[in-house]
């Protein structure tokens, strides 16, 4: 009997010990998970930051949505006072790395843009356009669609291979388009 009780006690002791161990392990795991959390927030915060920028863009586009279904505010009124020389300076900084503008000049990373306004979209000889831009090939470039493309290339032509975020300032887009109009 005494030895039986002893065994029971041993079992109980073992069970308590085991429970304690499990508790400790669980505690450690919880700690680990919590510590693991704060070690990564850099990542999460970055992901979140990137994501919220996207959201801001979307909602900004959404706000303008009523007036301009594609997202870019209308700039037709600004075109009258647009400055092609300023647009040219902007082009040199932001676009010339990928686009030549000389008549008969070669394509670079992007197609040559001589005479681009009024030209059929995605039609310059010898350039391998994306399906995204080719989907727009029924239209010719005009102020309206160039405004949309320059505002947000990937939104207006999903799948475009033009790796450029877009020009969000209305006067800068107007100047830029005035410059593109002068390339003839
Ligand atoms: C990183 C290189 C790069 C930069 C920077 C860039 N583009 Fe492009 N662009 C491209 C590529 C590539 C295409 C072809 C897009 C496609 O096929 O989807 C293109 C296409 C275009 C087209 C359409 C031409 C056509 O023949 O239909 C226009 C217009 C244009 N870009 C203007 C601009 C302007 C203006 C800027 C500066 C604000 C600019 N791009 C900046 C690479 C670039």
Segment 33-70, tens digit of pLDDT: 555 444 455 455 444 454 444 444 444 444 444 444 54
Q: What is the pLDDT at residue 28?
A: 61
More confident residue, 12 or 177: 177
In this prediction, residue 10 carries a pLDDT of 75
Give the pLDDT confidence score for residue 59 in this predicted structure.
40
What are 83-123's pLDDT values in tens digits?
Answer: 999 999 999 999 999 999 999 999 999 999 999 999 999 99
CA 141 from centroid of its chain's CA atoms: 23
Ligand 1 shell residues, CB under 6 Å? 94-95, 97-99, 109-111, 113, 116, 121-122, 124, 129-130, 132-133, 150, 160-164, 167, 176
The domain segmentation of the chain, as residue ranges, is 2-61, 70-181
C-alpha distance across the termini of the chain, in Å: 109
- Domain 70-181 indexed as CATH 1.10.3720.10: no
pLDDT of residue 171: 98
Residue 142 to residue 177: CA distance in whole angstroms: 9
Q: Quick one: DSSP state of residue 57? A: H
Pick the residue whose CA is nearest to atom 25 on ligand 1. Answer: 122
Q: Are 146 and 177 in contact (CB under 8 A)?
A: yes
- 23 alpha carbon – ligand 1 mean position (Å): 61
């Amino acid at each position: 009997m005494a030895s039986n009780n002893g065994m029971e006690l041993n079992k109980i002791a073992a069970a308590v010990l085991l429970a304690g161990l499990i508790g400790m392990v669980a505690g450690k795991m919880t700690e680990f998970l919590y510590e693991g959390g704060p070690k990564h927030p850099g990542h999460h915060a970055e992901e979140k930051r990137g994501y919220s920028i996207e959201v801001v863009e979307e909602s900004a586009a959404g706000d303008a949505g009523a007036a301009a279904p594609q997202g870019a505010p209308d700039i037709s009124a600004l075109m009258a006072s647009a400055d092609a020389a300023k647009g040219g300076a902007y082009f040199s900084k932001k676009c010339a790395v990928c686009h030549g503008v000389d008549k008969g000049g070669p394509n670079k990373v992007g197609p040559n843009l001589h005479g681009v306004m009024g030209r059929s979209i995605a039609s310059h000889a010898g350039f391998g356009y994306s399906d995204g831009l080719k989907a727009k090939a029924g239209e010719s470039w005009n102020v309206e669609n160039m405004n949309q493309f320059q505002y947000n290339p990937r939104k207006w032509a999903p799948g475009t291979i033009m790796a450029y975020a877009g020009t969000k300032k209305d006067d800068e887009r107007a100047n830029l388009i005035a410059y593109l109009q002068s390339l003839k």
